[in-house]
Amino acid sequence: METRAGDPGAFAQFDLGRVDSPSFVVDAAKLRDNLRVLADVRDRSGIKMLSALKAFSMWSVAPIIGNYLDGVCTSGLWEARLAGEFYDGEITTYSAAYKPDELDEICRLSDHVIFNSPGQLTRASQILEQARASGGGFDIGLRINPMHAEGEVPRYDPCAPHSRLGFPIDQLEDEHVEPLDGLHLHTLCEQDFEPLKRTWEALREHIEPYFGHFKWINLGGGHHITRDDYQREELIEFLIEIQEETGAEIYLEPGEAVALDAGILVGTILDSHWNGMPLAITDISATCHMPDVIEAPYRPAMLHEDEDGDGDPVRLGGPSCLAGDVIGDYRLPVPCEPGQRIAFLDQAHYSMVKTNTFNGVQLPSIWLWDSETDALEQIKSFGYEDFRNRLS
């Protein structure tokens, strides 16, 4: 999977020795830059802009996000609880399926509760009625599948054949629409404006009969709005047009765009040897710290990689026992020797929320740096107890 992120920005001058290893380091200044871009799009188009916690849920920076955006979107009860505890603004919750015994609390916490199918919405009707009778002021939405694939990788494409995500739009009937306050779709992954425009064109004929019925339409995430080459002017014009056309308030809920290029993952070479090519083992694990490297798959950019160098590329892997725990082949900016520090770019989103302790591999610490002031603070570190307490 090709990714167009990986601008080092202020990290080009960051001393990797200032933090422990492994560590995530998030730049608050870059985060603010991204949020200003998102807020500008929001203000000029008149829409609502939410931050997707599934991609970036570093709640210590929630006050920064709250200064710019309208709230957050969550993926179930625990994220909704996190949102209610730390984040300002609206809370929109969508899950592919809700547990009935969690739905009442989700309704209390959320402004929008979005269902994946009309069937589950019908089964939950009594819970929803009781929640509203007790003072809940939430809206009800339905996630639809536009059945228009734009994804580069099928496993990341909610419109791939036989997708479980969203109700197929060609099955939508009046009876499904009647109880709804809004529609939700999420079909993109690290993409720019044109795929969104094509998706809307494919969807319009199916939902046009209901224009005027919906209070809001949520266009989901996957929009790389903060990337320098994103067509933001075209996006703003489009958002204004579809609000006028549909009579609905429009929502976007970017995740990656909030933290794009705002974080690095710092690690250390632990050992090196030769097996047909130079090999190095690091305290960064693709399996435990950057699972998208294996799942997508993709090759994360390295800080200061000597891409045009004459030296042989080094295959970097993690310390776990999984043979496939391989990050990739790199021309290192430092000697391939134990003790040398390296860092991977654009690791604030998804990597941080997906970390795990397979094999007892240490979780990276979390640091907050402000490249404008050079203030550096360790927000969180993890020890053996964090590993032990997840087990029985």
Q: H or E stretch including 153?
A: none
Domains in the chain: ranges and CATH: 9-25+262-388 (2.40.37.10), 46-259 (3.20.20.10)
Q: H or E stretch including 334?
A: none
Rounded Cα gap, residues 195 and 213, in angstroms = 26
Rounded Cα gap, residues 89 and 87, in angstroms = 7
- 48 band by pLDDT with thresholds 50, 70 and 90: very high
4 has a pLDDT exceeding 80: no
CA dihedral (32, 307, 326, 3) positive or negative = positive
2 has a pLDDT exceeding 70: no
Tokens 């200064």 sit at which residue? 67
Specify the pLDDT at position 5: 67
Comparing C-alpha atoms, which of 1, 388, 385, 9 is closest to residue 227?
9
What mean pLDDT comes out for the span 29-55? 98
Specify the pLDDT at position 222: 92
DSSP 46-72: T-EEEEETTT---GGGHHHHHTTSSEE
Enumerate residues 6+ apart whose C-beta is below 8 A from 15.
none
- 307 band by pLDDT with thresholds 50, 70 and 90: confident
- Report whether 93 contacts 110 (CB < 8 A): yes
- 155 band by pLDDT with thresholds 50, 70 and 90: confident
6 has a pLDDT exceeding 80: no
Rounded Cα gap, residues 288 and 299, in angstroms = 15
What mean pLDDT comes out for the span 297-304? 94
181: amino acid identity, one letter:
D
What mean pLDDT comes out for the span 295-303? 93
What mean pLDDT comes out for the span 176-191? 96
Tokens of residue 235, six digits: 């996006």
| 3 state SS of 386 | helix
Q: Tens of pLDDT along 274-283? A: 999 999 999 9
- Report whether 145 contacts 184 (CB < 8 A): no
CA dihedral (14, 17, 19, 25) positive or negative = positive
Specify the pLDDT at position 52: 98
Specify the pLDDT at position 296: 86
- 1 band by pLDDT with thresholds 50, 70 and 90: low
Q: Tens of pLDDT along 68-97? A: 999 999 999 999 999 999 999 999 999 999
Higher local confidence (pLDDT), 360 or 6: 360
Residue 338: cis peptide before it, omega within 30 degrees of 0: no
Write out the E strands in the chain: 23-27, 48-52, 71-74, 90-94, 112-115, 139-145, 167-168, 182-184, 216-218, 249-252, 263-274, 278-282, 314-317, 326-330, 341-345, 365-370, 375-380
Mean pLDDT of the chain: 96
Question: What pTM value is reported for the model?
Answer: 0.96
| 3 state SS of 287 | helix
3 has a pLDDT exceeding 80: no
What mean pLDDT comes out for the span 248-263? 97
Range name among 131-140, 232-241, 253-262, 344-353 with the lowest pLDDT average: 131-140
Comparing C-alpha atoms, which of 221, 274, 216, 206 is closest to residue 252?
221
Rounded Cα gap, residues 84 and 227, in angstroms = 29
Specify the pLDDT at position 106: 98
- Report whether 175 contacts 211 (CB < 8 A): no
From first CA to last CA, the distance across the chain in angstroms is: 37
Q: H or E stretch including 127?
A: helix 125-133
Q: Tens of pLDDT along 99-115? A: 999 999 999 999 999 99
What mean pLDDT comes out for the span 367-391? 97
